[in-house]
Every structure is written in C-alpha cells, then in structure tokens.
Amino acid sequence: MRNRFLNFKKLFVFAVLFSSALVFAQENKPATWIWYPGDFEIWLSNKMQVRRTEREAVFPPLWQYYSPYALVTFQTEVDIPKPDEVKIYSEGPFQLLLDGVQVYGQPKSITVPAGKHKISFKVYNQEVLPAIYISGQYVKSNASWQVTNEDKLWIDENGKAQQSGTPWVPVGSWNFDSAENKPSEFKLTTKPLSAKKTEKIGAGQLVDFGKETFGYIKIHGLKGKGKVALYYGESREEALDSARCETLDHLSFDGKQPEIYTHNGSKAFRYVQVQADAGVKYDSISMLYEYLPLDYRGAFKSSDQELNKIWDVSAYTMHLTSREFFIDGIKRDRWVWSGDAYQSYLMNYYLFFDSASVERTLLALRGKDPVTAHVNIIMDYSLYWFVGVYDYYLHTGDTKFIKTFYPRMKSLMDFCLERRNKNGFLEPLEGDWVFIDWANGLPKTGEVSFEQMLLARSLEAMAVSAEIAGKNEDQKQYQKLASDLKTKLFDVFWDKKENVMKHQRIDGKMQDIVTRYANMFGIFFNYFDEEQKQSIKNKVLLNKDVLQITTPYMRFYELEALCAIGEQDYVLKEMKDYWGGMLKEGATSFWEEYNPNKKGKEHLEMYGRPYGKSLCHAWGSSPIYLLGKYYLGVKPTAPGYAEYEIKPNLGGQQWMEGKVPTPNGEVALYVSKSEIKVKASEGEGKLVFESAGKPKASSGTITELAKNKYQLIVKPNVEYKVSYKAI
Amino acid sequence: MRNRFLNFKKLFVFAVLFSSALVFAQENKPATWIWYPGDFEIWLSNKMQVRRTEREAVFPPLWQYYSPYALVTFQTEVDIPKPDEVKIYSEGPFQLLLDGVQVYGQPKSITVPAGKHKISFKVYNQEVLPAIYISGQYVKSNASWQVTNEDKLWIDENGKAQQSGTPWVPVGSWNFDSAENKPSEFKLTTKPLSAKKTEKIGAGQLVDFGKETFGYIKIHGLKGKGKVALYYGESREEALDSARCETLDHLSFDGKQPEIYTHNGSKAFRYVQVQADAGVKYDSISMLYEYLPLDYRGAFKSSDQELNKIWDVSAYTMHLTSREFFIDGIKRDRWVWSGDAYQSYLMNYYLFFDSASVERTLLALRGKDPVTAHVNIIMDYSLYWFVGVYDYYLHTGDTKFIKTFYPRMKSLMDFCLERRNKNGFLEPLEGDWVFIDWANGLPKTGEVSFEQMLLARSLEAMAVSAEIAGKNEDQKQYQKLASDLKTKLFDVFWDKKENVMKHQRIDGKMQDIVTRYANMFGIFFNYFDEEQKQSIKNKVLLNKDVLQITTPYMRFYELEALCAIGEQDYVLKEMKDYWGGMLKEGATSFWEEYNPNKKGKEHLEMYGRPYGKSLCHAWGSSPIYLLGKYYLGVKPTAPGYAEYEIKPNLGGQQWMEGKVPTPNGEVALYVSKSEIKVKASEGEGKLVFESAGKPKASSGTITELAKNKYQLIVKPNVEYKVSYKAI
C-alpha cells in the first residue's frame, strides 16, 4: 500500500478517461434489471444476515437495518432511428410517462416513436424493492439510466407539470440480464455434493462431507412418519454434541412427503448427525452445496508443498465466505462486518478480482442516511470502510462508485468527525464499540493511537474521493484534517525516547503501553520513516513480550507490516507455523482464532461456548493476499492497474509461480533463483528485482536502479524471460 | 387560537400529571399489537397513497416514501406475582431473550417465572413491518413497552453481553387488540349499499348511488363470459364520458366466476356507467361502502335549515376523507397533504375528536430522517405540520406524542431553518414548491410574507414542544428565533402608511401587492393589534379588489379571520352563499374549488382536464369548524380542555344547539336570543356572553366583566340555564 495516496493527480486523469470508456461499452450491453443504487444490496443483506440461527432461534445483527426506497422513478432519454417496440417488466406497479405524458394502464409493452424521447417509470414496491427491466431494440434498461427517490414532479392548477431540485443518481444494476431473472428472486448457485463417509451413532448416523462446506441437507429415499433431528458440526465433536452444537434442525414428516427432501435452511458444516424416529426411514444423506460462482483468477504454486496447501485452503475459505456479500464466517455470524470485509476485499483482489462483490459489500455495510452509529457500531469498522473504498478505486480504477456514493461517504465521515473529543481524537462515546482485535486484556478506552491512525488514513481516502467527486473544497478540507491529525498523532503518541508508537492516552495521561496495532499499520500506511520502521520492527513486531496476536485477523496486518519491510523469509516461516499449525489440527478451512498453545477441543471454544468458534472465517485467508502482493510481489501503483509493480520475493522458496488478476486480465509470473518469467494483459508494469550478476531479458530493456537492483518495464501481452542470479 | 401560545407554563404542569395518569390506565388495558412508533403509519400511508389511479395507471405521490425499520427490538421489564404463561404472536421471525439469555427456537409461548424479569424480542420483517402481540395474565404487549431499531447488544470474546447507547423509544400501537387482528392486515370497515337509481345508457346502464360515495363495486347475478367496463363519475357527466372520466375499470370474466363479484379496487363516485359485452349478464350493481368507523361526537343544528344542510354535508365530506389518514379528496389525490390535513385536524376536533387519526396523519406526513425536502415538497406544508402538532397538544393534552417525536420535529425544523436566505427569511430554493393556494396570478417567488408568518408560528410551536420534551436550551433558542422573525416580519412587510401587510419582496425590493393570506393569518395568530386588525378588515378582508379566494381551502382562514374579529353575521351570509351555492349546484359533498361565476360543466374542470376537479375534498368541510368554534363558540384555552371558553354567537340565527367534543366528553350547548343552556363533561369552562339586561343562571354565579358582558364558570356535569337578552 506504500505511496498509494501520493501520486493521485496523474491517476485521476487516467481514471476519467477510463470511466468514459466504460460508459461507451455499456451502450452495447443487453438490457438488465435496474434499481436505486445500493437498494438491492441493502435489501439482500437484510435478508441474508437474518439467516444466522443459533439452535433454531434466528439471530439478527445488532446494528440498524436500512431499507430500499419503496417508490422510485427511473428515467432515460433516447434518440432512436426507428420506432421501437419496447417490452416492460416491473417489480411493482408503475406509472409510465412518455415525454411527460402519462400512458394509461399497466402496459406490457409500448411503442416508442423514432427520435428523441424522455421515458420515465415511477415504480412502487414496498415488499421487496422497485426494479424494472425494459427491453427494446434501442431502448433498454441499463447502467446509463437515472433514478430518484423523490421526483418532485407536480401538476399545477392549469395542468402544467413542474419539476425542480430532483436528486437524480445513476441506477444500480448487477447481472440480472434477462426478464425472468428478477432481483427479488436472487439465489446463489447450488450443486449436489455427496457425503464422504457415514458412521453409526446410536440409532442414527454421523455423515462426514470430508471438509467444511455450506448448503442444504438432502434426504434420499425418505419414507414414513415422524421426526428427524439434524445436528450440524464444523467439527466432529460439535455434530456429536446434540445438546450443545450451535446449529440444528428438527424436521417433522407426516408420511406424505416426497422421497427426496431438501431442507430450506442453509447451514455450515462438515459433519451432520442424523437421528430419525423409528417410523422414519431413509436411504442416504447428501447436500446441495451453495456458492457464488466465481473464477479463481489468482493462483499460487511453489516448491513448498505446505505453503501450496495453505494457499489452497485459504482460497477455499475465501470462496466459502464470498457469498451474497463478503461475510465473516459461514456458521457464525453470517453477517457483513466491515473490518472482516476489508480484508476480504484485499484477498479478493488476489483471488477472484470480483468487483461486484466488493461493491455489494461496501453498499450493504454503509446503508443509508441518517448515520446514527458506526458501521457495525464499531469505531474502527467505520474507518476501514473508507479505506476499502479507496482500495476499490486503486485496484479497479472505477470512479463511478465514488461519484455515486460520495454523499454517503461524506455523511459517514461527518458522523465520525462529530464524535471527536476536544483534542480532535476519536474516543468512544455511548454506543461506540472499539474492537481492534479479540485479545484478552487489550485496553480500548480513551484515546487509542490505532483509531487515530485509521482516521487519518480515512481522511486521506476522503480527500482522494472528494477530488474524484469534483468536490474541491471538500478535498482541501479533508487533506488538511488528515495532515493535522497525523501531526497530532505523532506529537502525542510517538515515544521519542523509545522510538515506538504508544497505545493509549486516558484523560490526558499517556499510558505506559505499547501494542502492535498502530505500529504495524503505520508501516504499511507509510507513516514512518526508515529509522522508525527499524525501531518498530525490533522493539515491537519481533518482540515476544508485546501482547501477542491470536487471530488471523490481526496476523494479516502484522505479517503485512513485516513483508513491507522486507521480512519475507521470516513471514514465510510464520505463515507455515501458524496456518500450517491449523492444517495439522485438521483444518479444512481457516479459523476465526488460532492459539497454538491450546489443545484438542479447546480449539473449538470461543465466546464461552464449547463450539462458539467459527472454523471457516474469511479473515483466515490472508496468505492469498500476502503471497500475491509480497512474494509474487504484484500490486497496482495507479488506479485499475494502469501502472503496477512486480517485486518478486521467494522468501526462501526454491521457486514459485502464480497469477495476480487485474481488471481485464492478469499478471502471470514464474520465479526461481535464476529465472523470472512474466506476462501481463494490461497496464504498464515495473518488474523490480535484485540480482548478484547482470541479468538478461528476452525482451525489453533492463535498467540498473542501484547496485544489484534492476528494473524491467513490462508491456501488455509480451512474455518476458529474465535470467538473473538471486541474492 | 388567540393567546394559545401564551399561558404555557401552567398548562405544562397539568399535562405532566395528565400523562402519568394515562400510563397508569394503560396497565389495565388488554394486550395490543405494538411496533416501532410511526412505522405502521409510514407503511400504511405508502400503501394507501399509491391506490390513486388515473384511467388504470397507478399515480403515486411525488414525494419521498420512507420505510418502516425492518429489524427492531421490543423490550419490557416486569415484576409479576406468579409464573405467567405468555403467548407470543409475531409478524416476522424473532429472537427472544429472557433476562438476557436467548430462548431457542421460535416458541409460541413461554413461561415467565414470578419476580422481576427483562423480556426482549428482536423481530425481523422486511416485507411489512415487525410487530408483536404478547399476551399473558401479567405480561402483555402494550404502550408501556420500549423499542429500538439498533439494540447494539453485542457479545464479547468471553460471551459477555455488552450494550450502551441504545436509542429506546416508546412503542407505537393503535387498536389491534387481538392476536388475529394483525397490523399487516389492516382494512377499513365496509358495509353494503344499494344503488338509488339505474338508467339505460346505450347497451349498458348508469347506476346512481344518490350521493358521493366510496368503495368497491359489486356485480350480482353475474353470468357468462366477456368484458365489463366500469366508468366512474363524481358527476353524471363524468360517468357518461367514458373517454375522459378520471377512473375506470376493465373487468374480464371467463364464465367460471362466482355469481357475486366484488371489485378489489376502491373508487370514489356517485355514478357508475356499466357497459358489458353481450356474453355477460348480471342482475344488478351495488357497492361495498368503505369507511373508518368514527363517532359523530360533534353536532350542530339551528333555526337556519340551509346552514344545517351545510353542516351535514360538511360532516359527510369530512367522514369520506377521514380514512386510513386524513386525505385531501377521495377521487383525487387520495394522498396525505399537510396543508389539507391541517384543516382536517381542526375540523376533526369539532366532529369526531379522533386523536388517533390526527396522530396517524402527522406521522405519515413527517416520515423519518433524513429530511431532504419539505413535507409534500411544499414550504407552507412543512410549516402547517408544526402548528398541527401544537394544536394536537392543545386539544388533546397529550404530551407523549411530542415527547416521542420531538427529534423528528427538530430535524424538520433544522431543514427549514437551513433554507432561510441571508435575511433570515424563507425563500424557495430548488425543489421547493410554494403553494399558498390555487389562485391564478398569485405571486409566489422571493420572500413572501405569508411563509414567514407561518415560520414564526412554527417556531413558537417548537418552543412549546421543546419545553414539553425537556429541551430547555432548544426552547430558548426557538423562542428567540420566533420573536426575532416576528420583529423582522413587521419591519419588512408591514406597510405603516397603508396599515396592511404587504405580500412579497424580491431581491430586496418590496412589491406593491397586498393579498389576503398573511393579513388573515395574522389576525387569528393574534400577531396584530386591534387597530391593525380593523385596518386589515376594511382594506383587505372586505375589499373586493384584493385577489379573491376561490378555494374552500383559503376561505377557511378568511372566514376564520373575520369570525375572530366578531364578524359572525357577515360570515354566516358568506357561508350560506358559498357552501349554499355548491348545494344549489347539486353538491352532495363539498368541492376542491368553487367559483360562483362558473356555470354547468365548468364546475367540473380543473388542472386542464374536464373532470379534474375533486368533488369531495376535505378542505370543503370548514363550516364544521367555524360553526363549532365561532358560533357555538367553544375552544380549549388549556391543553386537553382542562380550561376552555364558550363564547356563543348566533350570527343572525334565531337559535342554535350543538355539541363540541372534548377528550373524554363534550360541551353541549343550546343558545337562543333569550336563553343559553350548557352542560360539559370535563374541565373548567368560561361561558362569556353579552346581554342587554342582567342575566340569571340556574346554577353558578354570573360575573359582570364589563358593561353588558358577563361570565359564568362552567363546572363538569352541571347543567346551566342562563336567561339573558341578546344584544
């Protein structure tokens, strides 16, 4: 992430060009269902997040649900060469105006005459969300339409239409590209999956699907009358513990059911204990695996088999938690948490590069106005949200998201800024949860340096976004707020004697505590100079006496910080120890928390419950990100990979190869100690590497940057082979 | 309304006592369905307002729809003498916590042990609105419960629940007092009504229901296959004009329909033209009349038969438009408009005194936050809303409404205040509609004195409300804003030479226009001194050269102003001319607009459409209010009729009698030129009257206030007979 906030001006020009190209491309796309931007995401996330159950009780989130607008007006202007017979599909009754004149009834189609026309649909739907699909040869609903939630179109006493001050915004859309494929009927994809093993347990059986999975239990050859209980387990222990497992279902059959029964509630599990009444018989248990269809556009393979396994299980963990949205865990919470999602965005850029999932998740998290609490009620989670928006722009080059949702960025930032104390620092007020990490004994009250650092970074993100949104006054204001806060952060929290960042100040009294959090973030935010970084590395990051991190969540940043200062060899060992440690415990997906000091069933406990821990948690997947960004070494340096860097680092491996996805392609790489092969689809890359001897390239010109340090410019669609001698 | 903002302090004490009495009373009530306050009203108004159709096209409002919260947590604390078996009914899946511990599943009942307990239900419903009905012997859902849309209850890593900053508010409820009677299934009452007359029209027939009505057409003895067209008309002309009537239905029958068909769409009409295909036969047409069941608690009868008829038709017009909410008209717009509703509130206090309807309407109009436009996008309509809240408090004495919704009052006022120009005046910005009245040539741009006067009154209402809500700083601020604005209003708009209020200033230039609006409002707002009032009466109100008023809407205030300065004789004649004029044109309900100079079908035209005018418009019912308040002369002088005034004025009639409802009773009155009889159920009344000779009372003591002016204190449940000699 180094420097990513610096060279903005140049990139902005690029982004503007890039986005107008996008608009052009949309004109040739088929019709698609459209809605008020963000509303589908709000509706779907409301629906999805309440699917968490705890022993058959629903367990909805603790934060506010926003709602879609129940009444919206879609509008477009067309200029067509011939009359167009246009089919109309609507979720909800509509009022259609053609050139401002009401068309009576609820027509299923309309002929739009040749020439210039203004078409508008006011659609009402209070149960789901208003959406339309308009399909003619020329006139079709797509991302170029506009929408408003208050059209303010009134008729005066003489019958003349009056309208002003209507807040039009670009519509939202996704991939609902046929009339039948309605947003309100959205479902993830499913496919049948067989059990790997079954085992008799009392009068019932334990079904093992071989690895962590997600979906709907199917019962085959079902006959008879009576009850069937299903006890789910991410672990064998959990499925067997019918009294304490976290999820279960009690089914009841009257004898008239079909022979194949599919449960309508999705669950996360590897094991299912099935206990049926004597009156009920069945042949076998299978499942419908439910997933979001995504391409694994990123790849990684190396000479280290354990590392390869870590990457594979990370990718699977990531896929299981990349669903309607990037959720935290598939058993629990099945919710969208901003801090967790922030990591998923980053991993996504190195695995699926699925922009739509990032947008959906950002929108679900942000909701609407008014802002009455932090995102997920957590102070740090509001702040990650801003940085997530910036990262989205950096990786995708898409300015439309920021332009459309800048007002929501601003109102969330207003909320945050209003909660600063008299010193200009964020300090928790009533209702604010300071999370940082699950870590026993971690102090979270008063002014915590970590939160201020995230706020500074968020303000920088706001400054960039304000410029994209064309709000120059805002840009200046946010830039100044960011720079003032950074100055204050160092004035107050930087310990000049110890050369480390302190953790906390309470009522003006600096607390004698150093933690990893602000220290590691400051490294990859590039807030420290080289001397400071070295001091932090030795006194904090590599110091076992500083409060240890036990969640993959914060290990993500800890290892990123170490990678950012070139400690790839050390980090590789840490990854193998930590994630390898989970694999040795039998993990088939990565966990919410892992403490190597725990034993056996202790690993399953959390939140005071024997199976409270989530064994498939998105934040467990960070090796995807670390290996892609700091070993393959690929990262964008201009929005949308217009420019990027490749800085491979074997970190002690013999060789590695892999792919890092870019918006419209990939960077493919093979690296051994003597050879680097690279081919990219787009943008201009800088391959930077060290070599003991003078390297040779099959194409392009190698420049010497410093002693033993070389650079090769990578152009699209050219395969480069570099012979070199690794140091 | 005179002085109603003045003696607040004393009344406030009363209101506090009164409202705690209410809470006590609720404990003995049965269980009732509860929801987030205001959400049922928002949901229902969204649903209702989209029922307007124009020739089978839906015609939704032009303003923003807000939404109910899809996820809310209900909570209560109980202390019960015995274990209680409590039944649970919920609209939407719920999570139940008993003393903070989750109860598994979705239980239909739960046993709450004796003693103190905290019970909470988190309910999700995105399709309709979350609501619960909880019914035990001791534990039951009622107005004493609390609710929040963000409970912020989270579980830390040790399983400990944490909660702070939760915005609890009192729940909303109405009259859903049984488990089966769910809010989501709310429907108005219906009863069968026969046609009065039928007449052959071509191959079909014209059905006449004898007067304006509302509901669902029924077809009896229906047989055969084919189409039936229904053309509705508030007038005979409209029903006969199938090509241009405003509402119609095309029905299609396949021969398998039942013999009695009831249409599922409600319409407003007196006449229906029925045209059926030859293949379709039926015996007769009737209707299901749909209405809100309300008691006519107010009454009026006098020696003037025409006036009695005016009162009756006003009451019927008012009842037809008092539905889910107070709407403007039953054919058109079927919407909730704040300016129209404001008058309905006032009429309601003299007819139904149905507090629930006022609350529902205020809540539907206000919606939620953020405020992004004026109520109904009309500047004056935001302002009427505040005054409507104050009037509600004055008439009902209910402080709970203000306490609960004060934040929504404040955010709407913030919106209004932010839209002031540099002079501190409201001037329309983009998207603001200045309505004032339908009147050709009425200037509405720049600074209009009428809008500033309404703002001043609204600020006074806010000051009173702030005090009730316990926001003393706000109270001071609003009081100062109001008084500053009033000063400025007179400095700028009062013409000291002409002694009238000018209408408009544009870019600092006073326009040479005088209109009735600010001048008449200033009278009953008591913003003018006696000399100013007399000048306005002669130079404006009784001056035919000042732009005439042609809507009953503004006639309401014009006549009120004249009554407020004692011109009852004149106003009585005006009422007979104007409303009597409509009766002579055959009106069976009062109209949106009436211009005595128009002839025949011209009366039906409006908005450039031949039948565009609404012939049953709530604002046509003002005689109810004028006769109750200024002839029977009854009005509250302290909140909830704790104190009130009776100042009868025959206005030229021989005698009159009537009832004015109060929160828990009525003031019944008979007045002739020689006798006044009065009996009241509650509060302390001051009967004030003039008599040429010394009056005598059957009870109580008559005080002489001035020459020929007397007062008698009226205590509850005592019948007073006063002999006097009218002057």
**For the segment A500-544, what is each residue's pLDDT rounded down to a tens digit?**
999 999 999 999 999 999 999 999 999 999 999 999 999 999 999
Residues 6+ apart with CB under 8 A from A476: none
Test mutation, B377, B414, B435, chain A, max A CBs within 10 A: B377
pLDDT of residue B606: 94
Say yes or no to pLDDT of B10 above 90: no
Give the pLDDT mean for A391-404. 98
pLDDT score recorded for residue B29: 73
Supply the DSSP symbol for A378: B
Beta bridge partners of A191: A289
Residue of A nearest to B368 (CA): A370
Q: What is the pLDDT of residue B684?
A: 98
Classify residue B689 by its DSSP letter: E
What number is the average pLDDT over the span A473-498? 98
Position A549 scores a pLDDT of 93
| pLDDT level of residue A155 (50, 70, 90 thresholds) | confident
| C-beta separation of A662 from A680 below 8 A | yes
CA angle centred on A453, ends A452 and A455, rounded to 5°: 65
What is the DSSP pairing of strand A447-448 with strand B71-80?
unpaired
Residues on chain A touching B148 (C-beta within 8 angstroms): none
d(CA B682, CA B663): 9
Extract the tokens encoding B671.
């007045």
Q: Which chain A residue is nearest to residue B435, measuring alpha carbons?
A: A156
Contact list in A for residue B92 (CB cut-off 8 A) is none
pLDDT reported for residue A15: 42
User: Kind of pairing, strands B719-723 and B696-697?
Assistant: antiparallel
Comparing A558-562, B23-27, B107-111, B122-126, the range with the smallest average pLDDT is B23-27
Tell me the pLDDT of chain B averaged across its residues: 95
At residue A13, does pLDDT exceed 70?
A: no
Could you report the per-residue pLDDT of B427-478, keeping only the tens digit for each? 999 999 999 999 989 999 999 999 999 999 999 999 999 999 999 999 999 9
Ordered by where they begin, the domains of chain B are: 27-185 (2.60.120.260), 189-291 (2.60.120.260), 295-333+549-627 (no CATH), 367-538 (1.50.10.10), 634-723 (2.60.420.10)
Q: Is A109 helix (H, G, I), strand (E, B) or coil?
A: strand
- Mean pLDDT computed over A45-55: 95
B58 in contact with A at a CB cutoff of 8 Å?
A: yes
Q: Using an 8 Å Cβ cutoff, are A660 and A666 in contact?
A: yes
- A-interface mutation test, from B40, B47, B59, B67, most A Cβ less than 10 A away: B67
Of B56, B64, B69, the CB nearest to A150: B64
| Mean pLDDT of the region A567-577 | 97
Q: Looking at residue B23, what is its pLDDT?
A: 38
Contacts with A, B 431-450, CB within 8 Å: 431-433, 438, 440
Distance (Å) from the C-alpha of residue B612 to the closest C-alpha of chain A?
9
pLDDT at residue number A9:
43
Query: Which chain B residue is nearest to residue A372, measuring alpha carbons?
Result: B150
| B240 pLDDT more than 90 | yes
pLDDT band at A18 (very low <50, low <70, confident <90, very high): very low
Of A43, A124, A150, the CB nearest to B58: A124
Q: Name residues 145-184 of chain A within 8 A of B (Cβ).
A: 149-160, 162, 164-167
Residue A256, min C-alpha distance to chain B (Å): 25
List chain A residues with CB under 8 Å of B249: none
Distance CA A321, CA A453 (A): 28
Residue of A nearest to B94 (CA): A58
Closest CA of chain A from B340, distance in Å: 16
What average pLDDT does chain A have?
95
- Does the structure show a pLDDT above 90 at A620? yes
Closest CB from B55, B152, B609 relative to A62: B152
Q: By the CB < 8 Å criterion, does B216 face chain A?
A: no
Q: Give helix A449-468 / helix A472-493 axis angle, nearest 10°.
A: 160
State the pLDDT at residue B635. 98
Examine the pLDDT at B6 and tell me if it is beyond 70. Answer: no
Chain A residues whose CB is inside 8 A of the B165 CB are 373, 429-432
Give pLDDT, residue A246.
Answer: 97
Q: Is B104 on the interface with A (CB under 8 A)?
A: yes
Confidence of residue A706 (pLDDT cuts 50, 70, 90): very high
pLDDT tens sequence across B607-624: 999 999 999 999 999 999
Residue B160 pLDDT greater than 90, yes or no: no
Give the ipTM: 0.94
Instruction: State the pLDDT at residue A5.
Output: 52
Residues of A with Cβ-Cβ distance to B106 under 8 angstroms: 56-58
Asked if the Cβ–Cβ distance from B152 to A433 is below 8 Å, we say yes
- pLDDT tens, B480-502? 999 999 999 999 999 999 999 99
Per-residue pLDDT, averaged over B351-359, amounts to: 98
Residue A399 pLDDT greater than 60, yes or no: yes
Span of A25-34, A107-116, A352-361 with lowest mean pLDDT: A25-34
Provide, rounded to the nearest whole percent, the portion of chain A with pLDDT above 70.
Answer: 96
Flag if A70 and B46 touch (Cβ within 8 Å). Answer: yes
> What average pLDDT does the segment A617-633 reach?
98
Whether the pLDDT of residue B12 is over 70: the answer is no
Pairing of strands B684-690, B643-646: parallel
Match 């290996």 to its residue by tokens.
Answer: A627
| Closest Cβ–Cβ partner in A57, A95, A372 for B59 | A95
Chain B, nearest residue to A434 by Cα: B156
**Share of residues in chain A with pLDDT > 90 (%):** 94
Summarize pLDDT for A69-105 with one digit per residue, the tens: 999 999 999 999 999 999 999 999 999 999 999 999 8
- How far is Cα B715 from Cα A636, in angstroms, rounded to an integer? 84
A448 burial class (0-12, 13-18, 19+ CB within 10 angstroms)? buried
- Say which amino acid occupies B255: G
Confidence of residue B5 (pLDDT cuts 50, 70, 90): low
Of A70, A94, A433, Cβ closest to residue B154: A433
Q: In which element (H, E) is residue B9 found? A: helix B8-26
How do residues B190-216 score in pLDDT, each as one tens digit? Answer: 999 999 999 999 999 999 999 999 999
Contact between A191 and A288 under an 8 Å Cβ cutoff? The reply is yes
The per-residue pLDDT for A297 is: 98
* For helices A400-418 and A355-366, angle between their N-to-C axes, nearest 10 degrees: 30
Would you tell me which residues 592-611 of chain A have a C-beta closer than 8 angstroms to some C-beta of chain B? 606-609
How confident is the model at residue B24, as a pLDDT? 41
Q: How confident is the model at residue A156 (pLDDT cuts 50, 70, 90)?
A: confident
Residue A42: pLDDT above 60? yes
Q: Show the CA angle centred on residue B580, arms to residues B574 and B585, nearest 5°.
A: 135
Whole-number pLDDT of residue A440? 87
Please report the pLDDT score of residue B642 as a whole number.
98
Identify from A71, A251, A609 which residue to disrupt to test chain B contact, counting B C-beta atoms within 10 A and taking the largest count. A71
Which of A103, A124, A168, A445 is the best residue to mutate to test the B interface, defined by the most B CB atoms within 10 Å of its own CB? Answer: A124
Tokens standing for residue A135 = 């399909």
Helices (H), B397-529: 400-418, 449-468, 472-493, 516-524
- Under an 8 A CB cutoff, do B370 and A372 touch? no
- Does the structure show a pLDDT above 60 at B3? no
CB–CB contact A372 B166 (8 Å): no
DSSP class of residue A603 equals G
Helices (H), strands (E): how many in chain A? 15, 38
- The Cα–Cα gap between B335 and B54 comes to 13
**Which residue in this structure is represented by tokens 């057409």?**
B217
Residue A22, pLDDT > 50, answer no
**pLDDT exceeding 70 applies to what percent of chain B?**
96
What are the residues whose beta carbons fall under 8 Å from the beta carbon of A389, sequence distance 6 or more?
A362, A401, A402, A405, A409, A461, A465
What per-residue confidence (pLDDT) applies to B28? 65
Sign (positive/negative) of CA torsion B337, B342, B345, B351?
negative
Contacts of A224 (CB under 8 A, 6+ apart): A253, A255, A279, A280, A281
What pLDDT does B440 receive?
A: 87
Cα separation, A568 vs A581, whole angstroms: 19
CB within 8 Å of A13: residues ≥ 6 apart: none
- Give Cβ neighbours of residue A220 (< 8 Å, ≥ 6 apart): A259, A260, A282, A283, A284, A285, A286
The percentage of residues in chain B with a pLDDT greater than 90, rounded to a whole number, is: 94
More confident call, A22 vs B514: B514
- Are B56 and A369 an interchain contact pair (Cβ–Cβ within 8 Å)? no
Give B374's contacts in chain A (Cβ within 8 Å). none
Partner-chain contact B104 A57, CB within 8 Å: yes
Cα distances from A494 to residues A35, A562, B717, B720, in angstroms, run: 48, 20, 79, 85
pLDDT of A287 higher than 80: yes
Residues contacting residue A124 through CB under 8 Å, at least 6 positions apart? A70, A71, A92, A93, A94, A130, B46, B50, B58, B60, B65
DSSP, collapsed to helix, strand or coil, labels residue A507 as coil
B153 falls in which pLDDT band (50, 70, 90)?
Answer: very high
Q: pLDDT-based confidence at A159, cuts 50/70/90?
A: confident
A697 pLDDT higher than 70: yes
